[in-house]
Amino acid sequence: MLRCLPREMTSVPATSYRIIRRTPDYDRAIFTLFGEVFGREGAARFEARWAWQYLENPYNDADDPIHWIAIDEDGTLLGHISTMPFQMWWGDREVRARSSLDQFVDPKARGRGVGIALVKAHIADVDLGLALGMTPSSYPIFKKFFTDIGPVPAYLKVLDGTALARRRWGPVAGTIAGPLVGLGLTLLSRRVAPAVGLEVREVASFTEDYTDLWTRARASYASVVRRDRRYLRWKYEACPYHRHRVFEARMRGTLSGFAVARTEGEPAFRRGIIADLFADTTDTAAHDALIDAVVSAFRREGVARVETYCLHQAIGASFRRHGFRAGRTTMNYCIAACRSSPDPLARRFEHQLVLGDGDLDRA
């Protein structure tokens, strides 16, 4: 077993509370405390996704705890952290990783080190700990013990100039300015000619070919979450709160890449989300074909703007080549890394994370 931190940093500090693994009899208290911290509406969504996100994860097992809770001397719940286990390519091998999700502390218990103790428990016995899309209150805690990679870049592409103008300047001024904005978008729009023999189509499900693609393409990344068939089916097909669409690229019949997309937002300003894009990092033909196919589908459906997150520099360049521009991002990323050789942290621009990997891509 590789360890993320020196032994002295993984111990829970001496205090009047205990950090223990969650058991089902604490679930109601967890849901109640979530509601007190984030509001009743957020608590309802949290409870609705609980079974899918934490119990049905194909990489969850009895020997890999994914919830830690802080319990006061009288049994009162003080705080909670959930973790999503998965396999991850890290440098030159696959390692056991966890991503931190749903960390919260009772406001009355703040100042007692509960949040720090929960984070330490999360990363004490795992090869790789990740934190992505943290709240403003939890981000400083993770930065104490993790390597701060920084924000994951966001990319935006506007498709409907009139919808954008109406949103910014109101219905009257927007209707007048819309054609001019649309003309500017047309002048800036870019399309890349598809490679000979490469075909993109929308499919209903992930097949075993996707596991084979993962095995072939993973080594082109410094780090990336394992994307085999069973993980993709759970993450996107079984997701209870989004309807995802899958586009695959095949070069003369062989799967070379895929994209996962969906739409959301109000009818007056529909947003297209590219939640995932995966191919060998050197296969720019697959990147171009998939981006073009997804954007074209969104355009036909009247989507106003396309949005995505992408950490890998070369794949980000593919989005820019298609007319995407940088957008504002709060999707910060931290790593508690196992000691491995070679050290992929030195290759930060070759790491990949997308919206579907994080804590922001949820109801």
List the domain boundaries for the chain: 7-151, 154-328
201, two tokens:
């189509």
203-227 pLDDT, tens digit per residue, is 999 999 999 999 999 999 999 999 9
163-211 pLDDT, tens digit per residue, is 665 666 566 455 555 555 454 555 556 666 667 789 999 999 999 999 9
**Domains 7-151 and 154-328 fall in the same CATH topology:** yes
pLDDT at 342 over 60: no
Between the alpha carbon of residue 123 and those of residues 4, 111, 300, 344, the distances in Å are: 7, 21, 45, 19
So what's the pLDDT on residue 5?
A: 42
pLDDT at 239 over 50: yes
Using alpha carbons, select from 241, 237, 235, 245 the residue that is nearest to residue 57: 235
pLDDT band at 344 (very low <50, low <70, confident <90, very high): confident
Nearest-angstrom CA–CA distance, 362 and 78 = 24
**Residue 162 or residue 297, greater confidence:** 297
Nearest-angstrom CA–CA distance, 36 and 105 = 10
Neighbours of 275 (CB within 10 A): 23
CATH topology for the 7-151 domain: Aminopeptidase (3.40.630)
The pTM (predicted TM-score) of the whole model is 0.85
76-92 pLDDT, tens digit per residue, is 999 999 888 889 999 88
User: What mean pLDDT do residues 256-265 have?
Assistant: 96
Neighbours of 87 (CB within 10 A): 18
Query: Which segment of 61-70, 186-195, 288-297, 329-338 scores lowest on mean pLDDT?
Result: 186-195
Nearest-angstrom CA–CA distance, 68 and 23 = 9
* Helices 161-169 and 171-188, axial angle in degrees (round to 10): 140
So what's the pLDDT on residue 289?
A: 95
pLDDT at 161 over 70: no
So what's the pLDDT on residue 98?
A: 86
Nearest-angstrom CA–CA distance, 98 and 101 = 9
pLDDT band at 339 (very low <50, low <70, confident <90, very high): low
User: What mean pLDDT do residues 352-360 have?
Assistant: 79
User: What mean pLDDT do residues 337-341 have?
Assistant: 56
Nearest-angstrom CA–CA distance, 279 and 249 = 9
Neighbours of 206 (CB within 10 A): 23
pLDDT band at 306 (very low <50, low <70, confident <90, very high): very high
User: What mean pLDDT do residues 348-359 have?
Assistant: 84
pLDDT band at 54 (very low <50, low <70, confident <90, very high): confident
Query: Which segment of 4-18, 20-34, 272-286 scores lowest on mean pLDDT?
Result: 4-18
So what's the pLDDT on residue 3?
A: 41
**Helix locations, the chain, DSSP H:** 7-10, 27-38, 40-50, 114-123, 139-145, 161-169, 171-188, 209-217, 229-232, 284-300, 313-321
pLDDT band at 343 (very low <50, low <70, confident <90, very high): low
Lookup result for tokens 């396309």: 306
Q: In what order do the strands lie in the sheet with 154-158?
A: 198-203, 245-251, 254-264, 271-279, 305-309, 154-158, 325-327
344, two tokens:
């992929």
CATH topology for the 154-328 domain: Aminopeptidase (3.40.630)
Lookup result for tokens 């924000």: 151
Residues 6+ apart with CB under 8 A from 297: 202, 245, 247, 261
First to last CA, the chain: 35
**Residue 358 or residue 217, greater confidence:** 217
**Parallel/antiparallel/unpaired status of strands 93-105 and 77-90:** antiparallel
